[in-house]
Amino acid sequence: MAINKKSSTKYKVKSTMKLGLYHIQLMRYYEEVLAQAARNYAFTGDKRWEIRYRAIEPMSDALLKDAIANTDETITPFFIVMDNANVNLVKMECGSIDLVNEGKKEQAIELLESKEYANQRKILAGGLEDFIIKIEGNTHEPDDLFDIMVPSVQQIIELERKLAVMEDNLKKEKLSTIGELSARLAHDIRNPLSIIKNSINILASKDADAKTMETYERMERAVERIAHQIDDVLNFVKPQAFSLKNTSLHEILTSVLARIEIPETVVITIPPNNIEFVGDNIRLEIVFVNLITNALQAINNSGEITIGTSITNGKIIIKIHDDGPGMPSDIISKIFDPLFTTKQTGTGLGLTSCKTIIEQHGGHIDVESAVGKGTTFIITIPYREIL
């Protein structure tokens, strides 16, 4: 049977175009999902986004390599351009993930919002569009070019977003149920706890030997720990109304340090420069009580805690550093998650409340830590001058 050369060439072009379209549709999907996963991880620190990114990225790379190897030479250059852009994007996205794991979320976000990252995304998108134009220029009659295309990229992405929303709603519903139960328990515990604390104070006010006084002090510390955990629960499930007013950093720190028992073996350095600003001092006190209490626990009640402040580009930056053992990267990425704790007696809600309060002020809280190098919590809020 004689083979028509013109027909054979047309079939080959159509075949390679089909393959190219298949790669393009998947590439669009992968590129969108990878960018979304990297960005979500930078903003949330939710480890699931890193896992998703790590799982999909090799498939994206393999797809482009396959396209370069198996498509017609007339369209291979499009995929080479896209592959080069993809390599650069992956390098920056993996870099942002590494920064998050090192506790440097701000730098990770800056990397993903940089001009270079945006340019590489444009190059990749441009390659995709150029290929579509090439396809349209070679398709002048109805055929089955689209028969093997994967489902609409927009539909796939929309479905993923809906699933993510459903998952988030389920998580919130679960937390809400736990929160309601915890709030009831917390209120039920707080009343008898107050009675115990008052009884200890009455007993301690009477003449007692040194050993008995030491026992009273241990009892009082235990009561304070329980009270702090109750506050964590209530601040998370039933936060106080947000109220801005004139306040100052020294005013907040003075109140906070008066509420916390500081061992003689701990040195706390507060900034000499006071900053007056508009904020919710009651809610901010909750933040500092949690962070300083965590620092005391980290250094095992012996060491140094340093609080530093500055005003940069219209923002107040507060750093709380302890010289404790530090944290590994897998812990850093989870510490603001509700109910996550590394302590046997912790609620896992203190840092979550801190994050919420700082975000209510229009700011954000980050952490930098490494094993053997201590931990630094960094609070950044807009500087609102006093009225």
Of 214, 237, 260, at which residue does a domain stop? 237
- Cβ contact 353:239 at 8 Å: yes
Structural domains of the chain, count: 3
| pLDDT tens for each residue of 254-277 | 989 988 888 889 999 999 989 999
- pLDDT, residue 347, reads 59
Return the DSSP state at 370. Answer: -
| pLDDT tens for each residue of 213-252 | 878 777 877 777 677 667 666 666 666 667 889 999 999 9
Q: How far apart are CA 48 and CA 38, in angstroms?
A: 11
Among 108, 70, 82, 74, residue whose Cα is nearest residue 24: 82
| pLDDT tens for each residue of 79-92 | 788 788 888 999 99
Q: Looking at the structure, do residues 227 and 251 belong to the same domain, yes or no?
A: no
- Cβ contact 309:318 at 8 Å: yes
Q: Looking at the structure, do residues 308 and 259 belong to the same domain, yes or no?
A: yes
- Cβ contact 376:319 at 8 Å: yes
Q: Looking at the structure, do residues 178 and 285 belong to the same domain, yes or no?
A: no
pTM greater than the 0.85 cutoff: no
Instruction: Give the chain's mean pLDDT.
Output: 76
Instruction: List the domain range (segments joined by +) for residue 176.
Output: 172-237
In a domain, 157, yes or no: no
In a domain, 163, yes or no: no
Return the DSSP state at 271. Answer: -
- pLDDT, residue 276, reads 93
Q: How far apart are CA 102 and CA 100, in angstroms?
A: 5
| pLDDT tens for each residue of 42-70 | 888 888 888 888 888 888 788 778 777 77
In a domain, 318, yes or no: yes
Q: How far apart are CA 344 and CA 265, in angstroms?
A: 23
Q: Looking at the structure, do residues 368 and 261 belong to the same domain, yes or no?
A: yes
Q: When comparing pLDDT for 116 and 147, which is higher?
A: 116
Q: Looking at the structure, do residues 62 and 145 belong to the same domain, yes or no?
A: yes
Q: Looking at the structure, do residues 194 and 297 belong to the same domain, yes or no?
A: no
Of 210, 237, 264, at which residue does a domain stop? 237
